[in-house]
Amino acid sequence: EAWVSYNTRYPMPYRSSGSPSNLWWSRAVGPLHLISLSSPLTVQAGSLQHAWLVRDLAAVDRAATPWLVVMMHAPWYNSNSGHAGEAELMRRDMEPLLFEAGVDLVLSG
């Protein structure tokens, strides 16, 4: 069903951030640049989400939005054995980008 119900119920500001999908987006909120990522979708280099994240991080103006916050559903690190390694592919492919960009806070779970 390609996320039809979710996209209808929860419209996100994806177009204004240049994202091709309602499932990942960014927005300036006062002094922070907020990025929302989609854990269950393809994230490796060359994927739509990964390519968008690279572009979005490169465009962040830390003078205008000094705080960089990223949020996603699945945590990259957790002690829950029922979900161990659930987001390992995302962590492997995106964590270096977030470190390099100097992300201040990651919210997940």
Yes or no: say if 25 and 14 are a contact pair by the CB < 8 Å rule. yes
Cα 104 to Cα 8, 12, 21, 50, 78: the distances in Å are: 31, 22, 24, 19, 19
| Residue 83 is a catalytic residue | yes
**Tokens 């039809």 identify what position?**
4
CA atoms within 13 A on the CB side of 74: 17
Of the residues 33, 50, 73, 83, only one is catalytic, namely 83
Indicate left, alpha or beta for 18 from its phi (over 0: left) and psi (-120 to 50: alpha): left
Residues annotated as part of the active site: 83
